[in-house]
Structure 1
Amino acid sequence: MMDILENARLLQLPDWWVCAGFVRSKIWDTLHGFEERTPLPDIDVIYYDGSNLHEEVEKHWEAKLRNLNPHVPWSVKNEARMHTINNLAPYTSSVDAISKFPETATALGLSLDEYGKVILTAPHGIADVINVVLRATPHFNNNPNLLPIYEKRMAQKNWQATWKQLQVSAT
C-alpha cells in the first residue's frame, strides 16, 4: 500500500487521495483474517483541480502511474469535474467528494503528508468500516434520486460473497 501511496504522491497532484476500495477492502480483508489481499478492479486516485477539467489530463496521470507501476489498475479522477456524472452540485474539495461517495465504509481516503506520514480522511468516521457494516452515506440516503444508484450498486458488487461478516444496512 505504501508503494501505491508513494507512486501517487510523485504526481504532486493538488488535494490528492487514494481512496474507496483501496482502503475499505484492506480493512475488511484484515478483519476477515485473509492472508492475501482481495484483488481490486482499480486503484482510485483522486485529486481536485478546478483549473483544468479535461478528462484527457486524468488519462495523462494514469499513464504516468502505469509507467511507475504497470501492475496496478490505476484510475485517476479530478473531483472538480466528477459531480457532473450524477448531475450534482460541484464538490468543493476531494474530501467533500469522498463524503458524497455511495457508502460510508467506502468514503475513506489515504494520502501522505510532506514528511511521508499517512493521513486518513473519513468524513463519516470509521465505525462502519471497522464493524463491517455497509450503509448509504447521508448524501445518498437523503436524496431519493440517488438511493436507487446505491441499491443497484449493492446488488452488483455482491460484497457479502467475499466478506461474509458484512452486514448491509437499509439506511
Structure 2
Amino acid sequence: MLPSKTCTKDFCLLADIAETTELERVEALADILQEIPRFMDILRCIRDLQIRDGWLVSGGIYQTIWNVITDRPIDHGIKDYDVIYFDGRDLSYEGEDAVIQQVQSALPDLRELLEVRNQARVHLWYEQRFGRPYRPLDCAMDSLTTYAARTHAVAAQLGKDDQICIHAPFGLANISAMRLVPNYSQPNPETYAEKAARMKALWPELEIVPWDVSAASG
C-alpha cells in the first residue's frame, strides 16, 4: 500500500522549480519515508547502532518516490538498500565487514537487501574494480557528488527526535520529475547508460537525459 499522505501530492508541481521550493520537495520526501516501515527500520538501525556518518542513500529512496508517483507497489524495482558511512579510523575490509554484520544482524528480514559500505575506503578498491582512479573522500556525503546520475544523489538520516534529515547536493526536482540526468564529475557514460536502461524498463515513464560527450569533456 502506498503512503496515504503522499499519494495525492502534485509531483508535477514539486518538479517545477519555478513554482515550488526545495524545502517543499524535502518535506514531501520525508512524508513518504516516514510512512514506510521498512525505511524507518533501516534509518533507526543506522542511528541506534551509532554508525559513524551513516546514511541511507540512492536507489531505495528515489525509486520509492517513483513508485508513489506511478502508483506501483512500494518495493517495485528496488534491488537493494544502500547504507553508507564514513569511518577513516579503520580502512580495513575486516572493519567494514564488522559493520556489515552488525547491520544485517539488526535487520535479519532485510539481510539480503542491504548494501553497506565504508566510503572512507572506496578509493582503495575502486580502480581495480572499475578501471579508473577514485579520489579519497572527505565524508559520506562527498560520495553523492560522484554518482553516475545527479538524480541518484539523495540521502536520508534519522535524528534523535525521529525527524528525517534529507541531503541532496543537486536538489530533488529531477526525482519529482522522474528525470534521469547525467553527472559529469566522473567519466562514467557506460554506468549511466546501463542504469538508465534498467530503470527505463522498470519505469517507462522515466525521462532519460542522454550523456553529452561534449559536456563531459568540457
Q: Tell me if both proteins adopt one fold, taking TM over 0.5 as the criterion.
A: yes
Comparing 38-47 with 120-129, which one deviates more in the overlay? 38-47
- The partner residue of 1:93 within 135, 139, 151 is 139
- Per-residue CA deviation, residues 7-58 of structure 1 (Å, 9 max, x unaligned), is 1212211211100111111111111111432253221110111111112222
Cross-structure match for 1:108: 154
Q: What secondary structure, in the 3-state scheme, does the structure 2 residue paired with 1:45 have?
A: strand
Q: Which protein has the bigger helix share?
A: 2
Secondary structure of 1:105's aligned partner: helix
* Structure 2 residue 96 is the aligned partner of structure 1 residue 76: no
Coordinate RMSD, CA, aligned: 1.6
Are 2:88 and 1:50 aligned? yes
TM-score, with normalisation over the residues of structure 1? 0.88
Q: Residue 37 of structure 1: which of 59, 72, 75 is its match?
A: 75
State the one-letter code of the partner of 1:149.
Answer: T
CA deviation string 1:113-137 (max 9, x = no partner): 2322100010111111110011212
Number of residue pairs the alignment of both structures matches: 165
CA–CA separation in structure 2 for the residues paired with 1:116 and 1:149: 35
Residue in structure 2 matched with residue 126 of structure 1 by the alignment: 172
In 2, Cα distance between equivalents of 1:29 and 1:94: 26
Contact in 2 for aligned 1:46/1:76 (Cα 8 Å) = yes
TM-score of the aligned structures, taking structure 2 as reference length? 0.70
Give me the whole-angstrom Cα distance separating, in 1, the residues matched to 2:100 and 2:71.
32
Q: Counterpart of 2:192?
A: 150
Answer with 1 or 2: which has the greater Rg.
2
Once residues 131 and 78 of structure 1 are traced to their aligned partners in structure 2, the CA distance between those partners, rounded to angstroms, is 31
| Structure 2 partner of 1:19 | 57
Paired residue type of 1:49: D
Runs of at least 5 residues in structure 1 that lack an aligned partner in the other structure: none
Q: Secondary structure at the match of 2:41?
A: helix
Identity of aligned residues (%): 25
Q: CA–CA distance in 2 between the matches of 1:121 and 1:3?
A: 19
Matched residue SS, 1:46 = strand
- Cα distance in structure 1, aligned partners of 2:109 and 2:135: 35
Report the secondary structure of 2:84's partner residue.
strand
